[in-house]
Amino acid sequence: MRYFIALSLLILHHTALAETSNSSTEQGLSRLQSLWEEASDSQNWQVAAGLGLGYAPEIMGSEVYKASPLPSVEIAHRSGFFLGTSKGLGWSYVVNPDWQAAVFIGLSPERKEKTKLTNHRTFKGMGDIKAAAQAGILLNYSMADLNLSMLASTGLESKNRGQQITLGADYTVYSSEQFALIINGALTASSADYQQRWYGVSTAQAKNSGFKAYQAGSGLTQGSMGLIGIVPLSKTLRLINAVSYNQLLDNAADSPLVKAKGSYAIMSSLQYTW
């Protein structure tokens, strides 16, 4: 069950949160095998579909917030294979009851020139950042109600060059048949290529857009904290609510493309599993 909860929340990264990569909700792909018996009633396949609504900045660093629909579909097999709208295609492996690993191929986020930075300014002249294939690996350590994770990803094409690594943790504060509360956090660092693509301004871009030229080096990109509340409505249907605070750091925070260093995001989603 936890596997699908985490993956359904990852959809925030690709829609409402846009480039808010590796937010506090991105603590997923954990305990697939160890919880399979409970989650799937010994079935070989499990499918989860979700529909919800998120409210977050149109792009990380923007002052403009917007509401976005959050549809999701996730498919997983007992062998570890998974396919879905959140992380794409991948395979997970349980090293032992405490350690899990996963590899995946998915799509990177994108940014359009028409995306609003403020109510009076867009990214016009900066060029579009197009989605492209990226690969990732995740390691997860589970200890009672505490989960520690490391997520590393890299772009596979020149249009999404660069790497990111996120260290995350989530802790189940309370859990019962009627309600579960999880607190989580994450810290993300990025390579110079990644930082420059999202937060840098080249000389040509400065000329076309009016933004001040800026070279964004490698380092910390953002930190985040969040809460997730889960309300089981039946054996197969659950309501998932989440809120997070995200803070841009170092070179990313100092970018002329950033108008709000701190932001929040909220979401609510119904998820059906069979």
Calculate the dihedral angle through the C-alpha atoms of 57, 252, 244, 225, rounding to the nearest 10 degrees: 180
Can you tell me whether residue 206 is helix, strand or coil?
helix
Q: Is 14 helix (H, G, I), strand (E, B) or coil?
A: helix
> 3-class SS at 108?
coil
User: Per the structure, how many domains does the chain have?
Assistant: 1
The pLDDT assigned to 41 comes to 56
CA distances (Å), 163 to each of 72, 95, 184, 218, 248, in order?
25, 25, 23, 10, 17
The CATH code of the domain that includes 168 is 2.40.160.40
Which amino acid appears at position 38 of this protein?
A: E
Interacting residues of 120 by C-beta distance below 8 A, sequence separation 6+: none
Q: What is the pLDDT along the chain (274 residues), one digit of tens a residue?
A: 343 344 334 433 333 333 433 333 333 333 333 344 444 556 788 888 999 999 999 999 999 999 999 998 889 888 889 998 877 899 998 888 889 999 999 999 999 999 999 999 999 999 999 999 999 999 999 998 999 999 999 999 988 989 999 999 999 999 888 999 999 999 999 999 999 999 999 999 999 999 999 999 999 999 999 999 999 999 889 999 999 999 999 999 999 999 999 999 999 999 998 8
pLDDT of residue 25: 33
Whole-model pTM: value is 0.85
- Give the Cα separation of 226 and 88 in Å (integer): 24
Domain that holds residue 225: 2-273
Cα–Cα distance for residue pair 94/71, rounded to 1 Å: 28
H/E run at residue 78: none
* Residue 204 CB contacts under 8 Å (≥ 6 apart), including other chains: none
